[in-house]
A and B are shown apart, each in its own frame.
Chain A
Amino acid sequence: MAGVGSESGSGKAPEDLGAQAEAAPDLTAAAVDVIPPEIVAQSLGEYFRAWFTRVRSGDAGVLPALAALLIVGIVFEITVPNGVYLGQINMVGIFDQSAVFILLAIGEGFVLLLGEIDLSIGYVAAIGGIVAGLLVQPQATNPDMFHNWPWWGAILIALLICAVIGGINGFIVTRLRVSSLIVTLAAQMVWFGMMIVILGQAGGLSVSATAPGDQKQIYGIVYGFLDVWVSWVGLALVVAVVGGSMWLRDSSRRRSGLVAPPVGLTVAKIVILALAGAIVVYICSLDRRIGEHSNPVIGVPWVVPLVLAVVGGATILLERTQFGRHVYAVGGNPEAARRAGVGVTAIRTWAFVIAGATAGLAGVVAVSYQSGITTNFNGGQNVLFAVAAAVIGGTSLFGGRGRAIHGLLGGLTIGAIYNGLFALGFPVQVQYIATGLVLLAAVSVDALARRNATAGSVARA
């Protein structure tokens, strides 16, 4: 501001641009329909009208993912026998199954936002799972290496190793300027081979609830549950903190005349957050035992708050910090970012580091979900599911557009399709074909949306 001085009132040029805009409607008219509704709407009704216009213009945000999830749910609820698909047992199962895709998709999202891709994270996840799984083994099953580690130490080391692997990918991509597709394809092969080498002749490792040491904590990520009352209290706390800060932020911005959504929208967001949370906790508090005589299975699996924490953390990182801002900038226009003084190389490298570390966590969850890991672990399929999840959720393969929540919604969609096809008894080859087609469809929609957007901006220029 200081450079501008205070001469704006000097009577210069009161002919004004506003008046010219009246005379030349092309300044704004063409652009109006694609402005995000929340920044111009004054009321909830106005918001929905603007939102509808935007959806019709092709920029639908998370809407396709929500619609896909709804359709998938209805189709499989009808086709899967006995209506078990949307029963509490299978619903929780779908989340457990989707958790790996969701975590991989969120990590992949950072790389996709830059317009790059990381095909290695499927097998990097395997490495993370194996490292954590090995470190908690007792000496008897893991005599050669470190053993009997506490679960948190094991997970920490796994994440660290995967972050370093991601850093190596990022280093090669940025310093040698090789296409990330090729670098990470090579890395995929390397870590696939390393996975088999580490698992060795045993061909696998397992974690169980009854084994000595901290295996039960790893196992319990998916198969350990929070008490029902703890879940409700936790939900109340999350809604109070997230909803409260949302409310305070929006109302303070409204007071100071800054761009803010209408009151109704803020309230609606908080209500939706509370409602969605309540539905999840309620479903998890229904008994999920299979067979009459076993013990009741009740409670929210630990993986639910874990995944939601990652979604929340990634959202804050991307949307509230300078790092996240620079990720979007580099994805949107690397040259503009570079000229603005953004450390493009560092941002790129860190995105690969984050993708690697998140993949490590996904691997730990995968080991928990399958009670171990074998050389059959399909990292290639997992990474394609992750890319598909991010794109279905609304993240663009061309960079610059995407959010953490896209990974959550897309991952759930992929998990729901996979689970439904399995429940219908389709063989694995059909599942591959279906998933491939879903990925293709999502990528096509992304490409068409981009072409429309580009055509639009050329027309406006």
Chain B
Amino acid sequence: MVKDPGSGETLLSLRGISKHFGAVQALYDVDLDLPSGQVTALCGDNGAGKSVLTKTIAGIHQADGGQMFWEGKPVHIRSAKDSAALGIETVYQDLALADNLDIVQNMFLGRERRNGFFLDEDGMERAAGETLASLHVTTVRSIRQPVATLSGGQRQAVAVAKAVMWNSKLVMLDEPTAALGVAQTQMVLDLVKRLKSHGLAVMVISHNLNDVFEVADRVAILHLGRMVAQDRLSAFDRQSVVDYMTTGVSSREVAASGQGRN
């Protein structure tokens, strides 16, 4: 096990995960731990394998080799259904919401509540309202407004709320603050902290170092498909993260306690 001082229980552990597409090796022997109640930032330059790793956890890709442990037990995630059944939800930046549907409709999309043949609108509206309130998402004018009328930050908040509504234990956010303004970025980061305080394991994929240093408890850095560093946030500074992301190694003092495996 990768040592994880002061953490909650490790929810998902990956050991030796590798994945290739034809001749292209996307992931080499990747280890990753995602503890409950903590935010893990997954960093890496373009093409480092962040997306592939995320999609492997989400069941969209299947790993070629390696093992996954969910709450300590070995699991095989072969499809998006498998990952959803475990309690893994992914929030993709632009792909999560249907603009023409309102907030309630989006949050229950694909899992609508029904009274016999008809939709249980009242029940869904109440539950959606409670979830949004528990996440302190209070800026929306009405939970019946179409998502097209929301700001970027509000859309992201709805997408996150949608993900946490389903007994999810691990939420993965793909570039949650890209394309957001300053105030909206802050709103989403606060939301991420709130997920953590609810006891969820959170993985944030980002190469925005401001975001990483604001919300992350742990940092994991991919470089050309290899996990080159993984440790508590305090083991890094901005320069060492940049070094790992761009070159795969860092000689800086602060990183000495890191778990870098070159």
Q: Verify A329–B109 contact, CB threshold 8 A.
A: yes
Q: Verify A400–B100 contact, CB threshold 8 A.
A: yes
Chain A binder among B10-18, B38-46, B195-203: B195-203
Residues of chain B within 8 A (CB-CB) of A7 are 197-199
Within 8 A of A (CB), among B116-152: 117-119, 122, 125-127, 130-131, 133-146, 148-152
Task: Say yes or no for B165: interface residue by CB 8 A criterion.
Answer: yes
Task: Say yes or no for A339: interface residue by CB 8 A criterion.
Answer: yes
Q: Verify A8–B181 contact, CB threshold 8 A.
A: no
Within 8 A of B (CB), among A447-461: 453, 457, 460-461
Residues of chain A within 8 A (CB-CB) of B141 are 28, 31-32, 35, 40
A331 to B101, CA, bound (A): 10
Residues of chain B within 8 A (CB-CB) of A258 are 122, 125-126
Binding site for A on B (CB under 8 A): 80-81, 84, 87, 92, 95-102, 105-106, 109-112, 114, 117-119, 122, 125-127, 130-131, 133-146, 148-155, 164-169, 179, 181-184, 186-187, 190, 193-194, 197-200
Closest CB-CB distance, B152 to chain A, in whole Å?
Answer: 4
A250 to B152, CA, bound (A): 31
Residues of chain A within 8 A (CB-CB) of B114 are 322
Closest CB-CB distance, A95 to chain B, in whole Å?
Answer: 30
Q: Contact mask A1-16 → B, CB, 8 Å, 1/0?
A: 1111101101011011
Q: Verify B96–A339 contact, CB threshold 8 A.
A: yes
Closest CB-CB distance, B142 to chain A, in whole Å?
Answer: 5
Residues of chain B within 8 A (CB-CB) of A16 are 136, 138
A40 to B144, CA, bound (A): 9
Q: A13-B193, A36-B146 are in contact. List 8 more A-B contacts (CB 8 A).
A: A13-B136, A18-B138, A26-B151, A26-B183, A35-B146, A252-B122, A320-B119, A336-B95
Q: Verify B110–A27 contact, CB threshold 8 A.
A: no
Q: Verify A3–B119 contact, CB threshold 8 A.
A: no
Residues of chain A within 8 A (CB-CB) of B101 are 325, 328-329, 332
Give the residue name and chain of the A residue nearest to B159 (CB): A336
Contact of B97 among A252, A259, A333 (CB under 8 A): A333
Q: Verify B184–A24 contact, CB threshold 8 A.
A: yes
Q: List 20 A-B contacts (CB under 8 A).
A: A3-B168, A13-B193, A17-B138, A17-B139, A17-B190, A20-B183, A24-B181, A26-B151, A36-B145, A40-B142, A40-B145, A320-B119, A321-B118, A322-B119, A333-B100, A337-B110, A339-B96, A340-B110, A340-B111, A342-B109
A-B CB proximity, top 7 nearest: A24-B183, A340-B110, A332-B98, A332-B100, A341-B110, A400-B100, A8-B134
Q: Verify A325–B119 contact, CB threshold 8 A.
A: yes
Task: Say yes or no for A437: interface residue by CB 8 A criterion.
Answer: no
A258 to B120, CA, bound (A): 13
Closest CB-CB distance, B241 to chain A, in whole Å?
Answer: 25
A1 to B166, CA, bound (A): 7
Q: Verify A17–B137 contact, CB threshold 8 A.
A: yes
Within 8 A of B (CB), among A429-461: 453, 457, 460-461
Q: Verify B131–A1 contact, CB threshold 8 A.
A: yes
User: Given A3-B166, A3-B167, A27 and B153 touching (CB < 8 A)?
Assistant: yes
Task: Say yes or no for A21: interface residue by CB 8 A criterion.
Answer: yes
Residues of chain A within 8 A (CB-CB) of B95 are 333, 335-336, 339
User: Given A27-B184, A460-B152, A325 and B131 touching (CB < 8 A)?
Assistant: no
A8 to B164, CA, bound (A): 13
Contact of A461 among B131, B134, B146, B179 (CB under 8 A): B179
A26 to B150, CA, bound (A): 10
Q: Verify B126–A20 contact, CB threshold 8 A.
A: no
Q: Verify A332–B142 contact, CB threshold 8 A.
A: no
A315 to B107, CA, bound (A): 22
Residues of chain A within 8 A (CB-CB) of B194 are 12-13
A10 to B127, CA, bound (A): 20
User: Given A4-B134, A8-B136, A342-B110, A31 and B150 touching (CB < 8 A)?
Assistant: yes
A15 to B191, CA, bound (A): 12
Q: Verify A259–B138 contact, CB threshold 8 A.
A: no
Contact of A34 among B98, B149, B152, B165 (CB under 8 A): B149
Q: Verify A30–B119 contact, CB threshold 8 A.
A: no
Residues of chain A within 8 A (CB-CB) of B133 are 8
Q: Verify B149–A1 contact, CB threshold 8 A.
A: no
Closest CB-CB distance, A198 to chain B, in whole Å?
Answer: 37
Residues of chain A within 8 A (CB-CB) of B153 are 27
Most B C-beta atoms less than 10 A away, residue of A3, A20, A339: A3
Q: Verify A27–B183 contact, CB threshold 8 A.
A: yes
A13 to B183, CA, bound (A): 15
Contact of B165 among A4, A12, A28, A453 (CB under 8 A): A4
Contact of B98 among A12, A31, A32, A329 (CB under 8 A): A329
A189 to B97, CA, bound (A): 38
Contact of B122 among A21, A35, A256 (CB under 8 A): A256
A5 to B197, CA, bound (A): 10
Q: Verify A20–B187 contact, CB threshold 8 A.
A: yes
